[in-house]
């Protein structure tokens, strides 16, 4: 399917989003969720898994 993972890009996106949101949020769980959402949201979408 040609899906690749770019670790450095994912880390950069996560770091930028956490730094931006840390000004208004202070709960680590919120910051982690935001970082994951941004990193996954900018990457390729995987096909659904069906059994």
**Considering the domain boundaries, does residue 49 fall inside one?**
no
Task: Determine whether 42 is exposed, middle or buried from the number of CB atoms within 10 Å of its CB (0-12, 13-18, 19+).
Answer: exposed
State which residues form the domain around 35: 7-41
**Considering the domain boundaries, does residue 1 fall inside one?**
no
pLDDT higher for 40 or 21? 21
**Considering the domain boundaries, does residue 27 fall inside one?**
yes
- Share above pLDDT 90 across residues of the chain, in percent, rounded to a whole number: 4
**Considering the domain boundaries, does residue 18 fall inside one?**
yes
| Tally of domains within the chain | 1
Residues with Cβ within 8 Å of 30's Cβ and at least 6 positions away in sequence, in order, are 21
Report yes or no on whether pTM surpasses 0.75: no
Q: Which element (helix H / strand E) includes 28?
A: helix 28-41
**Considering the domain boundaries, does residue 50 fall inside one?**
no
Lowest mean pLDDT among 2-6, 26-30, 43-47: 43-47
Q: Please write the tens of the pLDDT for every residue from 13-37.
A: 888 889 998 988 889 999 888 888 8
Whether residue 41 has pLDDT greater than 80:
no
42-50: long-range pairs with CB below 8 Å, 24+: 42/13, 43/5, 43/10, 44/3, 44/4, 46/3, 47/1
**Considering the domain boundaries, does residue 47 fall inside one?**
no
């Amino acid at each position: 399917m040609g899906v690749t993972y770019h670790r450095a890009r994912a880390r950069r996106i996560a770091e930028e989003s956490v730094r931006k949101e840390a000004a208004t949020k202070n709960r680590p769980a919120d910051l982690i969720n935001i970082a994951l959402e941004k990193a996954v949201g900018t990457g390729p979408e995987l096909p659904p898994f069906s059994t």
